[in-house]
């Protein structure tokens, strides 16, 4: 155990046991994991001794700068230049041999920050294109589609696709991880054999040539579990190497020679973040309780009935089962089938396919869990719903639904003002 980790263990123990007498020893790991989640990692100095090895290119110094309090990115999405650490990750790609591939210079994600002496890959500028949609009762709603541009030397040259994604809320991840694969397989209907127009699939993630696993985390649902997801976060967002993603230079490409040559936090052949550190962060996330919801006083049963009747629940599965460590099954309510669906052209990010993501294509997204929707909508930075935060309200989010969800959306458009209000009241109570 390194010196700083020892210090952390001692100081966190003081917090855990000094603060709450009931804190049991088995919660110690979660306390440590929380400290690691909030820790601003530091870059390696010119000597290779004792430093974390943040970067050389990165998007934030801490997990918690994107997931505040384990929650969603607290970002105000406005036109203009975005701050370097904006709670977003922007995936990019190019076309190689007729297939979509990571970008030859930028890699698979744009890093907006760099260690001293190196330049970030670029900064982000945001603009919106607006249009209006009309509901059956005559109400008009303005929708805005974000356009992200990469500013800087490398700019947006040769970009075949750009996929901006907002850091999601992590509460309840431990339960999502425990939904058995057999349950996902039972919900999936890739060829729409039941003819309801909805064909969810289990996303398949690629982790090297031979490692292809069924996924469930991330907006495209392609990370299989928390260990993979967190290792990807260390790699892409922080530039730190873990056993699952051992490149000390993170997402730097061979075109970025000065990044490859920069000091790293470990000797070649070893990693910057050992598996025990990854495991502590996993324990913290597993201990994060499910979103509490806004617990409305009013009766929301009318809205709940409408939600089911117009087909929202076909993807936003109200009840899921988690298999607890004890082997017991537990019902919980994430309002997601954890499958990916074709959501139509309006939400597509052009990450069409190729070697980058074998199943989740441009139009495919994992059903966003709706638990915690009420507090998200009420957040002071704005609701920022959907993968890139474009929707400012529940109604806007619904109106962006297309593809397999086109029918459900149309039924929502046709609701009377009163029924629509009931539906929204139900959703904002989640
Ligand atoms: C630069 C911002 C940023 C940082 C820093 C960051 N994340 Fe994330 N996180 C994201 C984004 C964006 C996604 C969605 C990724 C996707 O869809 O591919 C995400 C997704 C996740 C998920 C999956 C949640 C779900 O339900 O799908 C987990 C778990 C997670 N991050 C944990 C972490 C941990 C642990 C760290 C620190 C090691 C971290 N993140 C650092 C932006 C960030
Ligand atoms: C075919 C599957 C499907 C159906 C049917 C469906 N949704 Fe969704 N929903 C999704 C997916 C996938 C996303 C994430 C899309 C994205 O982020 O680009 C989503 C996102 C949302 C969000 C945004 C959540 C957030 O935190 O960002 C809301 C709100 C929502 N859906 C409500 C509804 C309602 C209400 C209905 C019924 C009118 C409905 N959905 C029907 C698949 C579906």
Give the distance, in angstroms, between the CA of residue 123 and the centroid of all CA atoms in the same chain: 20
pLDDT at residue 354 tops 90: no
Indicate if 329 and 217 belong to the same structural domain. no
Rounded mean pLDDT, 190-218: 85
Rounded mean pLDDT, 306-326: 96
Distance from Cα 421 to the centre of ligand 1, integer Å: 33
Report which protein residue has its CA nearest ligand 2's atom 2.
315
Which residue, 242, 264, 287, sits at the end of a domain?
Answer: 287
Q: Which residues contact 192 (CB under 8 A, 6 or more apart)?
A: 198, 199
278 lines ligand 1 (CB under 6 A): no
Q: Where are the alpha helices (DSSP H) in 233-386?
A: 257-261, 275-287, 301-309, 373-377
Indicate if 186 and 172 belong to the same structural domain. no
Structure tokens at 285: 């996330």
Residue 352 sits in which domain range? Answer: 181-200+291-427
Indicate if 108 and 253 belong to the same structural domain. yes
The residue among 50 and 281 whose pLDDT is bigger is 281
Q: Give residue 34's pLDDT.
A: 96
Pairing of strands 80-81, 204-206: unpaired
Rounded mean pLDDT, 246-262: 93
| Ligand with minimal distance to 364 CA | 2
176 lines ligand 2 (CB under 6 A): no
Distance CA 137, CA 251 (A): 50
Report which protein residue has its CA nearest ligand 2's atom 12.
367
Indicate if 217 and 342 belong to the same structural domain. no
As a whole number, the mean pLDDT across the chain is 88
Distance CA 234, CA 240 (A): 5
Q: Give residue 22's pLDDT.
A: 40
Indicate if 131 and 220 belong to the same structural domain. yes
Rounded mean pLDDT, 146-172: 85
Rounded mean pLDDT, 43-71: 85
> Which ligand 2 atom sits closest to the C-alpha of 412?
38
Distance CA 120, CA 151 (A): 10
199 lines ligand 2 (CB under 6 A): no
Q: Which residues contact 207 (CB under 8 A, 6 or more apart)?
A: 213, 228, 244
CA distance to 170, 171, 204, 212, 223, per residue, from 177 (Å)? 11, 12, 15, 17, 10
Indicate if 128 and 60 belong to the same structural domain. yes
Q: Give residue 356's pLDDT.
A: 47
Asked if residue 229 lies in contact with residue 235, where contact means CB atoms within 8 angstroms, the answer is no
Furthest C-alpha separation in the chain: 68
Indicate if 219 and 319 belong to the same structural domain. no
Per mean pLDDT, which range of 99-108, 140-149, 348-357 is the poorest?
Answer: 348-357
Report which protein residue has its CA nearest ligand 2's atom 39.
312
Rounded mean pLDDT, 251-267: 91
Indicate if 176 and 275 belong to the same structural domain. yes
Q: Give residue 208's pLDDT.
A: 64
Q: Give residue 212's pLDDT.
A: 79
> What whole-number percentage of the chain has pLDDT above 70?
88
Rounded mean pLDDT, 291-313: 88
Which residue, 267, 287, 307, sits at the end of a domain?
Answer: 287
- Work out the number of other CB atoms within 10 angstroms of the CB of residue 401: 22
Which residue, 266, 287, 308, sits at the end of a domain?
Answer: 287
Indicate if 351 and 339 belong to the same structural domain. yes
Indicate if 215 and 336 belong to the same structural domain. no
Nearest Cα residue to 140 out of 396, 425, 400: 396
Q: What are phi and psi of 223, to 5 degrees?
A: -100, 125
259 lines ligand 1 (CB under 6 A): no
291 lines ligand 2 (CB under 6 A): no
203 lines ligand 2 (CB under 6 A): no
198 lines ligand 2 (CB under 6 A): yes
Indicate if 147 and 79 belong to the same structural domain. yes
- Indicate the number of domains in the chain: 2
Indicate if 191 and 305 belong to the same structural domain. yes
Structure tokens at 284: 């913290």
> Residue 357's pLDDT band (boundaries 50, 70, 90)?
very low
389 lines ligand 1 (CB under 6 A): no
Rounded mean pLDDT, 45-57: 75
């Amino acid at each position: 155990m390194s010196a700083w980790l020892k210090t952390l263990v001692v100081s966190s123990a003081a917090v855990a046991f000094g603060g709450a007498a009931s804190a049991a020893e088995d919660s110690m790991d979660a306390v440590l994991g929380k400290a690691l989640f909030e820790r601003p990692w530091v870059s390696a100095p010119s000597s290779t001794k004792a430093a974390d090895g943040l970067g050389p290119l990165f998007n934030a110094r801490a997990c918690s700068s994107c997931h505040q309090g384990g929650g969603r990115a607290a970002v105000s999405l406005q036109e203009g230049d975005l701050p370097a650490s904006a709670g977003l990750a922007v995936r990019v790609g190019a076309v190689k041999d007729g297939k979509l591939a990571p970008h030859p210079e930028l890699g698979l994600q744009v890093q907006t920050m760099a260690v001293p002496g190196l330049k970030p890959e670029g900064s982000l500028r945001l603009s919106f294109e607006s249009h209006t949609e009309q509901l059956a009762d005559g109400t008009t709603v303005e929708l805005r589609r974000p356009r992200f541009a990469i500013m800087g030397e490398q700019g947006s040259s040769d970009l075949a696709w750009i996929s901006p994604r907002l850091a999601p809320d992590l509460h309840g991840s431990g339960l999502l991880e425990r939904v058995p694969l057999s349950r996902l397989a039972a919900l999936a209907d890739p060829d729409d054999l039941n003819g309801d127009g909805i064909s969810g699939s289990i996303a398949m993630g690629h982790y090297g040539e031979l490692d292809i696993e069924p996924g469930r985390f991330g907006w495209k649902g392609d990370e299989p579990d928390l260990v993979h997801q967190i290792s990807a976060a260390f790699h892409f967002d922080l530039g730190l190497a873990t056993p699952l993603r051992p490149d000390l230079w993170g997402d730097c490409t061979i075109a970025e020679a000065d990044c490859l040559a920069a000091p790293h936090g470990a000797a070649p052949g070893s990693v910057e973040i050992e598996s025990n550190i990854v495991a502590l962060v996993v324990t913290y996330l597993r201990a994060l309780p499910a979103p509490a919801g806004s617990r409305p006083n009013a009766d929301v049963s009318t809205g709940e009935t409408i939600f089911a009747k117009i087909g929202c629940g076909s993807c936003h599965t109200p009840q899921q089962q988690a298999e607890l460590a004890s082997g017991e099954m537990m019902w919980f309510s994430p309002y997601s089938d954890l499958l990916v669906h074709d959501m139509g052209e309006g939400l597509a990010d052009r990450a069409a396919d190729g070697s980058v993501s074998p199943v989740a294509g441009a139009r495919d997204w994992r059903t966003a869990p709706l638990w915690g929707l009420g507090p998200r909508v009420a957040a002071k930075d704005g609701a920022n719903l959907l993968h890139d935060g474009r929707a400012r309200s529940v109604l806007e989010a619904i109106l962006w639904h297309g593809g397999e969800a086109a029918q459900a959306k149309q039924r929502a458009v046709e609701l009377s003002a009163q029924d629509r209000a009931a539906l929204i009241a139900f959703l904002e109570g989640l």
